[in-house]
Amino acid sequence: MFMTLRYHIFTISAIFAALGIGILIGSCIIGDEGLLKEQQRIVKEIGRDIDRLKEENSRLLRSINTLEEDLAYKMNIEQKLYPLLLKDLMEGRSFFLLYNDVSEENLDELVYYLKLMNADYDFFDLKKGNWPEEKPDLSVFNHLITWNLKEDFSVNLLLNAKENFSLLSYQGDDVQDLIINIVKEVLNDK
79-125 confidence digits (pLDDT tens): 888 888 888 778 888 888 888 888 889 899 889 888 888 888 888 77
User: Do 96 and 136 touch, CB atoms closer than 8 A?
Assistant: yes
Name the CA dihedral angle for 109, 111, 115, 121, rounded to a multiple of 10 degrees. 160
User: Do 150 and 102 touch, CB atoms closer than 8 A?
Assistant: no
- Strand ordering across the sheet containing 166-170: 120-125, 94-99, 143-147, 166-170
Three-class DSSP category at 148: coil
Strand residue runs (E) in the chain:
94-99, 120-125, 143-147, 166-170
- Reported as a single tens digit per residue, the pLDDT across 1-39 is 456 777 778 888 888 888 888 887 777 766 666 667 888
